[in-house]
Chains A and B, each alone.
Chain A
Amino acid sequence: MFKAIVSASTLRDALDSVSVLVEECKIRLNEDDLSIRAVDPANVGMVDLTLDAASFESYEADGGVIGVNLSKLEDFVGMANADQLVELELDEETRKLNIRIDGLSSTLALIDPDSIRQEPDIPDLDLPAEIVLEGAQLDRGIKAADMVSDHVRLRVDDAEEAFHIQAQGDTDDVDFQLDAEDLIDLTSGTADSLFSLDYLKDMNKAIPKDAEVTVELGEEFPVKLHYRIAEGQGNVTYMLAPRIQSD
């Protein structure tokens, strides 16, 4: 059983954060929240999303799992204005999701959850550095890096207490330095890892510019990016595996 009403903008923010990585996913309809966990086909980038029951206008669920094609679902939800409410209801018999937006009702055929790539185990990482910044700052660093390279180096300089978003191209370099006072918060530690911009750009697309993004970083370790959505009632965590830094 699943029946929920949610604002279109909340649902869209949530779905966007997953659809940048995968085309299909399982949605867990838990009693207290809705959650999605998915990893990209190359097993490099992962997303872990929860939307608390409190982020819905109304929410009833009993722990089922459904499989959806995200771009189709996003198309349907895209028919709503940001401030409109979307009503979702699972038809247990037909295994279809009924979606109602004002007078518009549509039916989305679901996918057998068993046919969807397995949900990843979440690496349990103890990362030494933690940077809290605005989505817009991260966006600026990533855009700058993208001008010169297809990879970006995220680094915390423990001595100068600064976070660097750096990139090195064949001929050109960029370095975006954010000191402790530029940041919302910084827990300094030795951290330096290289990441593919193909992934980071996609993740960045989903991160609202005004969101407070927490970046957890280590030495040649995956990076964790998390931010809250749905006015604090939802959480998105991205994890991205590093590329080995030659020399």
Chain B
Amino acid sequence: MQFAEFATRASEMEAEPADLATVALVRDLFCDAGDDLPVVVRFVHGRVFPAWDSTTLDVGPRLLRGAIARAAGQNVTAADVEDRLAEEGEIGAVAAGYDFGGQRGLAAFAGGDDDGLTVAEVDETLRELAAAAGSGSEDRKLNTLFGLFNRTTPEEARYLARLVLGEMRIGVGEGTVRDAIAEAFLAVEETGETTDSEADDEPNDETRDETDGETRDESEERAAADDDEDPLTRATDEQLRAVERALQVSNDHGMVAAVARDDGESGLADVRLEVGRPVQAMLAQAGTAADALDEWGEAAVERKFDGARVQVHVEPDDEGETAGVSLYSRNMDDVTAALPDVVEFVESRVDAPVILDGEVVAVDDDGAPRPFQEILRRFRRKHDVDRMRDAVRVELHAFDCLHADGEDLLDAPVTERHARLSDVLDDAGAVSDLLVSDDGDEIAAFEEAALEAGHEGIMLKNPASAYSPGNRGKNWLKRKPDVETVDLVVTGAEWGEGRRANHLGTFLLSVRDGGDYVEIGKVATGITDEELADLSTLLEPEIVSENGQTVELNPSVVFEVGYEEIQASPTYSSGYALRFPRFVAVREDKEVADADSLARIERLAESESR
């Protein structure tokens, strides 16, 4: 497929406001993709690599602006591109605004024709880009991107720029991709009343069939007239679930689409977990023991470790001995290199092949848990791994087993998975204690003991439930002491992007320090579109200065902000940062002088670390 064709389709999706019609457009694109299907499926939701693969292009906005500037022509600088970005609010529009192609290629003089970029070529080039490393790799990346942009039309440039940053902004999310795969390759044409020659026409949906007194001819005419944008959804729930399951298990949308097309539902059913290919972690909602017992009768209860979620993959060698250990974060990033002690522990205690879910927790010399921020000093670390290994001791606490000895256990109940975990992990201390109880008092005692031991709270799990990757469902509940809020002064903000380009989106928060203000974090979540518009109206008159997308504000407005923890952090001038900050409300009843002080933040942080 030509990249120009892909870009045209993408722009149609972007222009289409209705979700069902978007699914139909994506479906049509998938049907037309041919051999390029896996790549097209990934591109359409802004990916070059499958979701499980933590390889990135490693191209930041600055590098991208440089490449665009170079392709844009004589004496256009990266700073010029940045200026346009501040105006347009979005890199795709900026790229589309330039006339690329002024730089000619040598092929044009060697008798070769430039037939335009293909989807496969863009994919191959971006993968080459991702592989570039070492000295001079920045330059080569810039040069490679320049070479791509140099061959694009404005429409292609728009979607290439967005693809490079991984954000297509065409209203196609994971759900759309899932639905479109099912619609394209599993949904069965309703051929009952149509003849063979019309088999390509969209069949009518049910509401139309219900139209009384309408003759067949009229109805067909309408169907034909609507053909282009007919947003029919014909895939059954079962088919959607088959796609969903295969996606959860593999996190490879391109592969799943190809399997759906080539081998249908039975092929999808054969998609299995693979050791070395991470799956999304199952997530929990907030809830109470009472909620759990009301819903399930009894609950499986575990301590909630205040650590970093980690998925442990253990591969066997040819003899079936434990060989390779890989560790992945909650977001499926490979964190193996940062945690050699965990790798060694797993190597000595776990029989391959196996996939475990757990938490890595920082502990003190007595084995008592240390605060979350300590584990962050280890996680994702690339340098000084050995030094930090001595400074911050960590332990693995496994609580789930997704795969053991060739058998996928996702559909097995919590209790069975926990039993398998105890079988494969030869260290009782590293396996979470599981209490299955229908007694509220017993659970309360367990919770009290967990909090006393320095844990964050407890997890409540439906004992009969399966493991649903990536799902924040009702089968896992986390019970924690109530969330705190603080009152903070808004001292800066950033203009949003895309649809939100005219609104302030991210707000810089500060605390009082004597007569001054020191920064403690940013908040962007918990704000509705409506509130966002109101906040912009409220704050725009307070703008002191602007620099690109960043604005400085007169300290005048106080936000109430919820958080889960205050942690020491070098990022902000206060020396502290909020973990999971969330906008609660504007404290119109408070003056900035009434906002919380640095002294109070220090006290809160201290009380937490006890």
- Given known A23-B136, A41-B140, A221-B109, contact A196–B75 (CB-CB < 8 A): no
CB of A13 within 8 Å of the partner chain:
no
Task: List chain A residues, Cβ under 8 A from B74.
Answer: 149-151, 168, 194, 243, 246
Cross-interface CB contact of A241 among B73, B105, B136, B144, cutoff 8 Å? B105
- Given known A40-B143, A243-B73, contact A46–B106 (CB-CB < 8 A): yes
Cross-interface CB contact of A169 among B75, B106, B137, B144, cutoff 8 Å? B75
What does DSSP make chain A's interface, helix, strand, loop or mixed? loop
Q: How far is the CA of A149 from the CA of B110 in the complex (A)?
A: 28
Which residue of chain B lies nearest to A169 when distances are taken between CB atoms in the complex? B75
Q: How far is the CB of B515 from chain A (nearest CB, A)?
A: 45
B150 near A42 with CB under 8 A, answer: yes
- Given known A71-B134, A71-B135, contact A242–B104 (CB-CB < 8 A): yes
B75 near A41 with CB under 8 A, answer: no
B144 near A39 with CB under 8 A, answer: no
- Given known A42-B150, A121-B112, contact A241–B103 (CB-CB < 8 A): yes
CB of B128 within 8 Å of the partner chain:
yes
Q: How far is the CA of A221 from the CA of B108 in the complex (A)?
A: 10
B128 near A39 with CB under 8 A, answer: no
Which residues of chain A from 105 to 120 have any CB-CB distance to chain B below 8 Å in the complex? 120
Q: How far is the CB of A69 from chain B (nearest CB, A)?
A: 9
State which size class the interface on A falls in: 20 to 34
CB of B111 within 8 Å of the partner chain:
yes
Interface contact tally, CB-CB below 8 A: 89
CB of A159 within 8 Å of the partner chain:
no
A122 near B110 with CB under 8 A, answer: yes
Which residue of chain A lies nearest to B101 when distances are taken between CB atoms in the complex? A244
Task: List chain A residues, Cβ under 8 A from B107.
Answer: 43, 120-121
Q: How far is the CB of A43 from chain B (nearest CB, A)?
A: 4
Task: List chain A residues, Cβ under 8 A from B106.
Answer: 39, 43-46, 120, 123, 222, 239, 241
Task: List chain B residues, Cβ under 8 A from A121.
Answer: 107, 110-112
CB of A93 within 8 Å of the partner chain:
no
Task: List chain B residues, Cβ under 8 A from A194.
Answer: 74
Q: How far is the CB of B163 from chain A (nearest CB, A)?
A: 17
Which residues of chain B from 123 to 155 have any CB-CB distance to chain A below 8 Å in the complex? 125, 128, 132, 134-137, 140, 143-144, 146-148, 150
B102 near A246 with CB under 8 A, answer: yes
Task: List chain B residues, Cβ under 8 A from A120.
Answer: 106-107, 110
Cross-interface CB contact of B103 among A123, A149, A196, cutoff 8 Å? A196
A43 near B132 with CB under 8 A, answer: no
13 A-B interface contacts by CB (under 8 A): A23-B132, A23-B136, A41-B125, A42-B103, A42-B144, A42-B147, A46-B106, A71-B134, A196-B103, A222-B106, A222-B109, A241-B105, A243-B74
**Which residues from chain A sit less than 8 Å from chain B, CB to CB?**
23, 39-46, 71, 120-125, 149-151, 168-170, 194, 196, 198, 221-222, 239, 241-244, 246
**Which residues from chain B sit less than 8 Å from chain A, CB to CB?**
70, 73-75, 101-112, 125, 128, 132, 134-137, 140, 143-144, 146-148, 150
